[in-house]
Structure 1
Amino acid sequence: MITSDIARSADFRLCAEALIDRPIVTAADRPLLEKIRRHANELQAAFTRLTGWRVQAHPEFARLVKTPARAEASHGLPWARKKIDYALLAWVLWYGEHTGGRKFTVSQIADEIKLRSAGPGDAGLDWTSRDQRLAARRVFRGLEEMGVLRLQDGSVDEWADENGKRDALYAWGAAAWRIHVGIPAAELERLAEGRPAPVSPAPPADGTDEIRLYRTLLLNPALFRRDDPAAFRLLDAPETRARVLQNLKQLTSWELEVTPEYARVLRPARSDDAVQTPIPVTSGLAHAVLCFCGLLRDRQAADRLVLAGGESYLIDESRVWQDVDELQKRFGIKWGKTMQQQKVSSLAEEIVDEMKAWGLMRDTDVPGQYLVLPTAARLAAHYAGGAEKDDDSM
């Protein structure tokens, strides 16, 4: 009985972690999907109590409908790289509703999107552009992984590589009609009017301090005191912190780290698709980010950064360019030929975007100025004998 209870608890945590970290669990991982369905009632009870999130358990997919307490760059889909990916995602979903869920070929939907995206003085999407065809390929592949689309014939790779001369046939999957996002009416009005989003949105009025605490810990790279002081103060009380830790341990196998200015859950290295895994070191861009963080940490230790309060600092875009130029000259050969020869402005933009996605940096209300968050000070990289060493203690 004890062994059975332990196995049941381990399965429950495995299911909860997958629902938190993945957009959708599909039938491609049937054993996990069936475990989620078996534990659906328990999972729903736990997520309702802690976060107010809803579990969808369908025979072909499972999904946790997650509402963040604060929107972050890290909430993006793992396969989406640029704004055009999200624009194309919206177009593809629109096309499914527009056609009543009929099967379609890539060339058919591409022609329709090109026609509909055109406007006064705007030719719309241009499929002769390789970058735009590759973006479309990312979207189709990503939607396949999410169970939204099912490839039935052909190859989207051939369409992307041969300028649309070949084709692929798709049908809609079960998850296509159950992807719903709750967007407040005021936000829809802002989008319709083309007004920009605020740089630092306030936490939503709905939900208790504790619900916002759990939502942020589970969905964001970190909960910062500066963002939500009321929620963070709950962790200042030893008895509340102990209860939060106990609830997290019952739901997941993750640890909780609390510092004076931020708190975060620490996921083990096996969680490849987690929101906040140990920082990856498998790509040249990741190496560049770690090197940049190390430079910032050295400058912080020397008291050469502009303090912004709460262990955060300000840095100007021009300073980022100078630092990236220096790092590229010193370490570019270790990042790969492409990054070694890349324009400094382009490389700096990629590094900043990656840091935003990791929860290490944000925009400010001042154009060309960034806020470096305290989590960045935990990172650095050093090359010794051609090997990369990650100094983060995550």
Structure 2
Amino acid sequence: MITSDVARAAEFRICAEALIDRPIVTAADDRPLLDRIRRHQPALQSTFGRLTGWRVQAHPEFARLVKTPARAEASHGLAWARGRTDYALLTWVLWYGEHTGGRRFTVSQIAEEIKLRSTAPGDPGLDWASRDQRLAARRVFRGLEELGVLRLQDGSVDEWADENGKRDALYAWGDAAWRLHVGIPASELERLAEGRPAAASPAPPDGTDELRLYRTLLLNPALFRRDDPAAFRLLDAKESLARVIHNLKYLTNWELEVTPEYARVLRPARSDDAVQTPIPVTSGLAHAVLCFCGLLRERQQAGRLVSAGNEAFLIDESRIWQDLDELQKRFGAKWGKTMQQQKVSALADDVVAEMKAWGLMRDTEEPSQYLVLPTAGRLAAHYAGEAVSDDEAEDR
């Protein structure tokens, strides 16, 4: 009986972690995991509902945790999306599905329809002669396949993207296509329908302090005291901190790290599809980010950065360019040929975007100034042959 209970609890945690880390679990990708989630669905719904207010969807062909953040962050974007064009195309594809009643379609058909619909006076719309836009479309189709929204039935979207539309691919709509819902406030929808821009600042956090705490810990890179002092105070008291740790251990195998200014869950590295903390180090861009964080860390320890309070500090865009120019000359050969030869301005844009996505940096009201968060001070990259201090060795 004890062994059975232990095994059931372990399986429950595997299911919970998968629902948190993955946008969706489909039968095509992992039928055994989907079956486990469906078996544990009542317990999963009870626990997620109590701690976060989130809902578990468990259908014969897919399962999904409908996650609503307490605070919107850049890290909540789709991992495969690289810019506005990707999100615009995603919206067009979903519109096309509703417009056609969910009929099967070829890439050339939907591309022609999107081209016609996106063209307006003074705006040429999308141009499929542009390789960049065809590659963006390919990312969207692949991303929707991963989400179970689309099913490739024949052909190849790769050939369409590479051959300037001369080849084709046939798609059908998947089981998850009509069940992916996102909660957008009615007031925001009204603004968009009237042609007004979206609200400049995010809506204030909703729900109880404890609800916001769990939502942020499970969905955001970190919970910062500066963002939600009321929720963070729950970690200051020993009794409530012990309760949070107990609940997280019941739900997952993850540890909780708490510092005076931020808290985050630490996920052990185990697979490519999991959200790793804090940055996957398999790409040259990640190396550049870590090297940059190490440089900032040295300046912070030397008192050469402008404090913004709460262990955060400010940095100007021109300073970022200078620092990355120095780092590129020093370490560029270790980042790969493309990044070694990349213009510093473009490299800076990529590094800033990556740091925003991983909760290390944010925009400020000043266009050329950024807020560097305390989590960045925990990171550094060192290559063989370099001297490493004891503090840096602990945080590599």
Q: Aligned equivalents of 1:31 and 1:379: distance in 2? A: 37
Deviations 1:68-123 (A, max 9, x none): 00001111112212221111111111100000000000000001111111112011
Query: 1:134 aligned to 2:155?
Result: no
Q: Aligned equivalents of 1:196 and 1:339: distance in 2? A: 35
Corresponding residue number in structure 2 for 1:91: 92
Deviations 1:173-201 (A, max 9, x none): 000000111100222234443425435x3
Q: For the Cα contact (< 8 Å) 1:75–1:275, is it kept in 2?
A: no
Q: Aligned equivalents of 1:11 and 1:97: distance in 2? A: 37
Q: Aligned equivalents of 2:346 and 2:94: distance in 1? A: 31
Which residue identity lines up with residue 233 of structure 2 in the other structure?
R
Pairwise mapping of residues 216-365 of structure 1 onto structure 2 (< 5 A)? 216-365=216-365
Go from structure 1 to structure 2 and tell me whether the alpha carbon gap of 1:381 and 1:144 turns closer, same or farther (over 3 Å shift).
same
Q: Aligned equivalents of 2:289 and 2:203: distance in 1? A: 28
Pairwise mapping of residues 1-394 of structure 1 onto structure 2 (< 5 A)? 1-27=1-27, 28-192=29-193, 193-195=195-197, 197-199=199-201, 201=202, 203-204=204-205, 206-385=206-385, 391=393, 393=395
Q: For the Cα contact (< 8 Å) 1:147–1:175, is it kept in 2?
A: yes
Deviations 1:306-332 (A, max 9, x none): 000000000111111111111111111
Q: Aligned equivalents of 2:227 and 2:275: distance in 1? A: 19
Q: Aligned equivalents of 1:218 and 1:90: distance in 2? A: 27
Q: For the Cα contact (< 8 Å) 2:278–2:358, is it kept in 1?
A: no
SS at match of 1:263: strand
Deviations 1:215-269 (A, max 9, x none): 0000000000000000001111000000000000000000000000000000000
Q: For the Cα contact (< 8 Å) 2:245–2:256, is it kept in 1?
A: yes
Q: For the Cα contact (< 8 Å) 2:380–2:395, is it kept in 1?
A: no
Q: Aligned equivalents of 2:203 and 2:112: distance in 1? A: 41
SS at match of 2:200: coil
Deviation, 1:339, is: 0.7
Q: For the Cα contact (< 8 Å) 2:221–2:278, is it kept in 1?
A: no
**Percent identity (aligned):** 82
Q: Aligned equivalents of 2:297 and 2:52: distance in 1? A: 34
Moved over 4 A (4+): 388-392
Which residue identity lines up with residue 249 of structure 1 in the other structure?
K
List runs of 5+ in structure 1 lacking aligned partners.
Answer: none
Q: Aligned equivalents of 1:356 and 1:51: distance in 2? A: 24
TM-score (norm 1): 0.96
Q: For the Cα contact (< 8 Å) 1:213–1:232, is it kept in 2?
A: yes
Q: For the Cα contact (< 8 Å) 1:221–1:275, is it kept in 2?
A: no
Deviation, 1:272, is: 2.9
Q: For the Cα contact (< 8 Å) 2:17–2:252, is it kept in 1?
A: yes
Q: Aligned equivalents of 1:320 and 1:393: distance in 2? A: 22
Deviations 1:3-50 (A, max 9, x none): 111110011000000001100000120000000000000000001100
Q: For the Cα contact (< 8 Å) 2:15–2:37, is it kept in 1?
A: yes
Deviations 1:110-165 (A, max 9, x none): 01111111112011011111111111111111111111100000000000000000
Q: For the Cα contact (< 8 Å) 1:381–1:391, is it kept in 2?
A: no
Deviations 1:329-381 (A, max 9, x none): 11111111111111111110000000001100000111111000000000000
SS at match of 1:52: coil
Corresponding residue pairs, total: 392
Which residue identity lines up with residue 24 of structure 1 in the other structure?
I
Go from structure 1 to structure 2 and tell me whether the alpha carbon gap of 1:325 and 1:190 turns closer, same or farther (over 3 Å shift).
farther
Instruction: Please give the root-mean-square deviation of Cα atoms over the aligned residues, in Å.
Output: 1.8
SS at match of 2:102: coil
Q: Aligned equivalents of 2:14 and 2:200: distance in 1? A: 36
Deviation, 1:278, is: 4.3
Q: For the Cα contact (< 8 Å) 1:74–1:275, is it kept in 2?
A: no
Q: Aligned equivalents of 2:56 and 2:394: distance in 1? A: 34
Which residue identity lines up with residue 358 of structure 2 in the other structure?
W
Q: Aligned equivalents of 1:259 and 1:277: distance in 2? A: 16
Q: For the Cα contact (< 8 Å) 2:16–2:251, is it kept in 1?
A: yes
SS at match of 2:356: helix
Deviation, 1:276, is: 4.4
Q: For the Cα contact (< 8 Å) 1:23–1:77, is it kept in 2?
A: no
